[in-house]
Structure 1
Amino acid sequence: MSLLGTHRSSTAAHAPGSGSKGPPPLPAPPGERQPPTGFEVVLSRHTRVLDNGRTLVGGSAGRVMHLRSGLRLAAEQRLRSRPGVEARLVRLLLDGGFADPQIGQVPGETGDITVVIPIKDRPEQLARLLPALAGVEVVVVDDGSADPEPIAVLCHRHGAQLVRHPVNRGPAAARNTGVRHCTTAFVALVDSDVVPQPGWLALLRAHLDDPGVGLVAPRVLGLPATDADRLLHAYERAASSLDLGPDPGPVGPGRLISYVPSAALLGRRELLVDGFDESMRCGEDVDLVWRVLSAGWQVRYEPRSRVHHGHRVRMAQWLTRKAFYGTSAAPLAQRHRQAVSPVQLPPWLLLVVIAAVAQRRWSPPVMALTLLITMARLSRRLDGYRHPQLLAADLVGRATVSSVRHLSSAVVRHYWPLSLLAALCSVRARRVLLIAALTDVVSAHRRQRPELDLLRFGILRRLDDLAYGAGLWLGVCRSRRLAALVPRVRFGSGSSTPKAGGRTRLRRYFSR
């Protein structure tokens, strides 16, 4: 399992690697992906409604959508899918991250789901997990435990099917083996150190009524803390790589939620059969999610469905795990290229950054002129919207602030060896490093609201970054490829309107 460090890193649209051996290609979603009649959605809290309901700004990917004449939407408005225009609009809003499924009371029926649990040793965790899965078909894959007898006894006691690997083959192989033994339409993957809350599985299952959704994941919270581990537990409660926050949304590179972990995950069986790349000991879950997206499916995050996970809260184990996560970036970059780039900027923002880092007399006027030209060009593209200049200024301002935050994180996380070396040689570099570190800590503390003061949170965040960055550079050295460190400059005008799964006729129908 790997999380690319933390979900605070922003990523952009990717293309799968070519020429590498791995799992077979994933099937594409059905040709008609319209939500079923009665499927209800509500506008996301990240969506702003402008122009008296005709313009939507934001979503999960920072886009602008202009509705055709006669269509109006209101903030927090609910829409119900019906054949025709409504169904296509619901699909477009879901794919663009402007709206989320509105799932109320869900039935408790989960008879079309099998739960797969990979495990190696640790029978005490399995004893805690199996009672929470009563009433659901379960397949346990013992991945080369030193003493398989306790796991076999637990499986027999709780009626779970047991499959055993004679030697350890890794979590990807264990999950693939478990899925091959499933006959139900849907499969839930659950790590042995997870404790689900009641109703978690039925809530996830409701999302798969949408034929365009291939995978859906719950929110992963920590187990209750003990007095001995309260410091790191408080940090993990706010900044865990597994906890993706309280807001639902679509998953994918370039979105607010770029991945979901396989600690708990529900998906369609046809996508999970031999879906994990068994050559990867780390990062196999992110790789699967991104390949599912590349096949044309949608992946969703549902935080109302919750499970608890035993975080590592001893300092040595915690740092080791953070470094282990970092090693996943290099193999993922080989498969997904620029999706893993720590820094991704359009040319105009790159020019602003270069001017700011130069710290010369010409820096402020160059930065101001670049921003003004960008706003002017964008306002021309927004011609037809009400107050295009104000909307362009707002979009450019938000993009600049967001980029500053992500760049600050990259300087002290992904690139800290280079940053430290530069700081030893240059006063300007020391100034940049100090500003980046302070910006990163203050913005993260304000955004995540941890149960720690700024000083203790800042110290733990820097340790987190140092460990992850060390693992990242170790993985790069092992692979002898720099793809995981290379910044990406996004050239081209790009479209401010979502494509709705590549269906250009929907773009023309609903947008300018």
Structure 2
Amino acid sequence: MTAVEQSIEAAPAQTCLPDGFQVQIDMRCARHGDLRYLVGGSPTRLLRMSDAALGMTSDDGRIAVCDNATRRLARSLLDSGIANPRPMFGPQAHEVTIVVPVRDNQAGVDRLLAAVSGTPVIVVDDGSRTPIVVNDPAVKVIRSERNRGPSAARNVGAAMATTEFVAFLDSDVVPSADWLTVLLGHFSDPSVAVVAPRIVGLNWSQAHGNDSGPGLAERYENGWSSLDMGPDEAAVVPSTPVAYVPSAAMVVRRNVFCGFDESLRVAEDVDVCWRMHEAGWRIRYDPVARVSHDHRTDLRSVLSRRRYYGTGAARLAELHGNRAAPVVMSIPMAVAVGALLTRTKIGTALAMIILAQVAFRLRRRLGDLPQAPLVAAQMTGRAAGFGLLQAAGAICRHYWPVALILAIISARFRKLAIEVAIAEGAVSWVRQVIADPATPTLGPVKYMLMHRLDDLAYGAGLWQGVVERRDVGALRPVLRP
């Protein structure tokens, strides 16, 4: 029986936060520090804090759970995405078993085991041509004579574990010393089933043992890897900025974890996150905990991996429907974005009319929020900007074969496509550098070159998957009323 055929235990109806648990309101949601009105989350929403709720909240937005009222308030803020958890306690490292799926990477296993010494480890050798050898008697090694894929290997290791929690680590990662301490605290929330760290690039000299500077492809991977979910902590929810977390490094609550779909050799992490979410369990991403990944260093392997990731989109669309859509937008916003992309006076006028209507409806929903007209205008502008970026990304990434054909036969579209590719790349670079100043230095021109090659590779894989599966679900946009 594959993991996808197993039933998923639903999250308990009552997921009470324990006494002593704390949450922190994201103060970016409080305009001018006023906690009475909170605007944020994904999708964006407005929360009005009552006098009673304000009385439970410190001036800096911290709430400590101590009774049913604070429990309900903390849970509401967490689920809205306007607050983040600040657990004060959690399981210990000895309650975790690390499962390492590996094929033909003895050096990586040796390096990883040195970094996690003292924690129970199960190494699953997934059909290595030369069997993996571990001399530490405390490490259990399970060998499969044939390669079944990382999903099956992880499931085999998890089934052998007896601890309450299981940490999945790929053989090409190295966790920081405190990664488990940071992550395990989240499990003091009984509704949390999966927690993941930030995955960053392994230092060049540490990975390769020399002083040579990294090349362009490696510098891009170190700053913009598809495994790196970014510098901001978040709840992991489909159709949000952090829609999944990579299986290269994650910790799960073993007795409720649904297991990986063994029919998937790519996108299995996306699938498992979405299935756990559908069952009512919560997933957290905490970038304070860090795990370093030995990234690919040459252009060919980097782009080949991106193409491989793209092939999983068609299968995700089969399994999860609209959640795998390349574009999700309201119909009015889609019309406005399309009108703006025409770059005509009539198109611009039509877009302004639609956006004004959107802002007006939003203003009415904001009620007595201070400076409501300004907030409505700002939120509408951000939504339009995000819509434009989403459309530009789709043109350059998901639909680039169609865009290429249109560019060949239409000089007007060719000019638009070039402008869109440059503008989207520039905005993406600026947003990343502002959000995470520690991002390895890569100038805008070199970044845009790599970003566009990344898009071409992923899009090629996406279309390959669509053709192979004869299902266009991964290309179908979702337009909502």
What TM-score do you get using the length of structure 1 for normalisation? 0.87
Letter in 2 for 1:112: E
- Taking the aligned partners of 2:165 and 2:4, their CA distance within structure 1 comes to 23
**In the alignment, is residue 136 of structure 1 matched against residue 119 of structure 2?**
yes
**In the alignment, is residue 327 of structure 1 matched against residue 296 of structure 2?**
no
**In the alignment, is residue 115 of structure 1 matched against residue 98 of structure 2?**
yes
Distance 1:199 1:411, change over 3 A: same
1:2-60 deviations in Å (ceiling 9; x for gaps): xxxxxxxxxxxxxxxxxx99332311122211211110111225523479422111124
- Taking the aligned partners of 1:157 and 1:51, their CA distance within structure 2 comes to 54
Counterpart position of 2:208: none
Matches within 5 A, 1:394-413: 394-413=378-397
Q: Compare relative contact order (CA 8 Å, sep 6+) and give the higher one, 1 or 2.
A: 1
Q: 1:235 aligns with which of 202, 217, 220?
A: 220
Letter in 1 for 2:121: V
SS across alignment from 1:270: coil
1:36-91 deviations in Å (ceiling 9; x for gaps): 11101112255234794221111243222222354336774111112221111111
- Taking the aligned partners of 2:110 and 2:81, their CA distance within structure 1 comes to 39
**In the alignment, is residue 423 of structure 1 matched against residue 407 of structure 2?**
yes
Structure number with higher helix proportion:
2
Distance 1:59 1:74, change over 3 A: farther
Distance 1:62 1:408, change over 3 A: same
CA contact (8 A) 1:130 1:158 kept: no
1:308-349 deviations in Å (ceiling 9; x for gaps): 101111111111101001001110111111111111111111
Q: 1:58 aligns with which of 24, 36, 40?
A: 40
SS across alignment from 1:277: coil
1:184-237 deviations in Å (ceiling 9; x for gaps): 111100001110110111211110010111100001111112526432222112
**In the alignment, is residue 157 of structure 1 matched against residue 132 of structure 2?**
no
Counterpart position of 1:385: 369
SS across alignment from 1:419: helix
What TM-score do you get using the length of structure 2 for normalisation? 0.92
1:269-304 deviations in Å (ceiling 9; x for gaps): 02335x111011111111001111111111000111
Shift of 1:441: 1.0
CA contact (8 A) 1:51 1:386 kept: no
Counterpart position of 2:267: 283
SS across alignment from 1:241: coil
Counterpart position of 1:260: 245
**In the alignment, is residue 23 of structure 1 matched against residue 5 of structure 2?**
yes
Stretch of structure 1 that moved more, 424-433 or 190-199: 424-433
- Taking the aligned partners of 2:454 and 2:373, their CA distance within structure 1 comes to 41
- Taking the aligned partners of 2:253 and 2:98, their CA distance within structure 1 comes to 12
Equivalent residue pairs, number: 466
Counterpart position of 1:190: 169
Q: 1:342 aligns with which of 323, 326, 334?
A: 326
- Taking the aligned partners of 1:299 and 1:86, their CA distance within structure 2 comes to 22
Distance 1:435 1:46, change over 3 A: farther
Task: Please report the RMSD computed on the Cα atoms of aligned residues, expressed in angstroms.
Answer: 2.0
CA contact (8 A) 1:144 1:167 kept: yes
- Taking the aligned partners of 2:360 and 2:468, their CA distance within structure 1 comes to 46
1:232-275 deviations in Å (ceiling 9; x for gaps): 222112211111111111011222211100111001102335x1
Counterpart position of 1:223: 202
Counterpart position of 1:124: 107
Letter in 2 for 1:341: A
- Taking the aligned partners of 2:33 and 2:24, their CA distance within structure 1 comes to 19
Counterpart position of 1:38: 20
Give structure 2 stretches of 5+ with no counterpart.
206-211, 434-439
- Taking the aligned partners of 1:242 and 1:46, their CA distance within structure 2 comes to 26
Stretch of structure 1 that moved more, 190-199 or 386-395: 386-395
Letter in 2 for 1:458: M
Counterpart position of 2:460: 470
Counterpart position of 2:422: 438
